[in-house]
Amino acid sequence: MSLVDERQDLAVALPAAPAPRAEPSMAGVGDYIALLKPRVMSLVVFTAFVGLVIAPGPMHPVLAFTALLCIAVGAGAAGALNMWYDADIDALMPRTANRPIPAGRIAPGEALAFGLTLAVGSVVVLGLLVNILSAALLAFTIFFYAVVYTMWLKRSTSQNIVIGGAAGAFPPMIGWAAKTGGLDLDPVLLFLIIFFWTPPHFWALALFRAQEYARAGVPMLPVTAGEAVTRKQILIYTVLLAPLGVTPWLFGNAGVLYGVVSIAAGLFMLALAVRVWRPGAAKAALHAAGRRLFGFSILYLFVLFAALLADQGLRSIGW
């Protein structure tokens, strides 16, 4: 018998090795919820809800709930796609290293499939059950955040937050479109408020996270231009934001309650931005001021939109 025949006989006698297969991750429900970025989602849903409530005309409660649910799921999908693509960056920053993908609890492929499924499902359901315009705006928002911001702007320009902030500004327009099937000046003003709010909000955070962003190679403004330029830009955008926040009242789209709240909140945020900008102040004091501005900026946006809701409620009862 030849050596070739012996090898063939041995190959027949031995069982074939099982093909390797990928094991599913051991992620829990909490890990998949974390992928959705629930804190960001809550802000998206709240601003979309305000846009829907203040829009003129009636809407069936079931359709309103469906619209908000689709917006929430779409926002979560964008968050999951962001975490999938940014897993390499997240692993390098202490603030994000324990997220499900860099921590190894969810496989990247699973996160991608999860995000795409939610994205397609939310847009399709919104289009079929509510209207096409709101679905188109939701689809564009997911695309803008996941592709334009996450995959392109975030790693290529220090203006990533400025341009990418549009993604977070669309929800009031989506809520308005879901109820009316169209758009008007009111949701555009809300879009602009969130758009101009985004840079001072995120740059205040970036001031005391600059080393983390530098280590991860993310060209945030404090990394590329320095803290002095960032603090000046925070002040400039806040100077633009403060009067812009009052425009719903100035244009007659909100009442006195909103006018008073927006003026007071704008002046307070402007005062914090001035403290962040102060030339010659100690670095520790500037970072502390940045933390206070970051914290208040979240409250600022919530207070403005809550005032719109309260104002709408007062109008509905004839006040």
Tens-place pLDDT, residues 173-217: 999 999 999 999 999 999 999 999 999 999 999 988 888 999 989
Does 67 or 215 have the greater pLDDT score?
Answer: 67
Smallest CA-to-CA distance from 29 within 106, 94, 89 is with 106
Residue 45: DSSP 8-state? H
Distance of CA 272 to the CA centre of its chain: 23
203-223 exposure pattern, b = at least 16 Cβ within 10 A, e = fewer? bbbbbbbbebbeebebbbbbb
Statement: residue 8 has pLDDT above 60: no
Positions of E strands within the chain:
none
Quote the pLDDT of residue 16.
46
Complete DSSP assignment for 198-226: HHHHHHHHHHTSHHHHHHHT---HHHHT-
Instruction: Report the Cα–Cα distance between both ends of the chain, in Å, rounded.
Output: 103
Above 80 in pLDDT, residue 27? no
CA distances from 197 to 4, 155, 210 (A): 75, 21, 20
What percent of the chain has a predicted confidence (pLDDT) above 90? 76
Average pLDDT of the segment spanning 274-301: 87
Cβ contacts of 261 within 8 Å, gap of 6 or more: 303, 304, 307
Among 60-69, 127-136, 177-186, 285-294, the least confident range = 285-294
> What's the pLDDT score for residue 3?
40
**Predicted local distance difference test score (pLDDT) of residue 318:** 65
Domains of the chain: 29-183 (1.10.357.140), 186-314 (1.20.120)
* Residue 17 pLDDT exceeds 50: no
Q: Where are the alpha helices (DSSP H) in 208-282?
A: 210-216, 221-224, 227-244, 247-250, 256-277
Rg (C-alpha) for the chain, rounded Å, is: 24
Confidence of residue 234 (pLDDT cuts 50, 70, 90): very high
pLDDT at 294 over 70: yes
Whether the predicted pLDDT of 1 surpasses 50: no
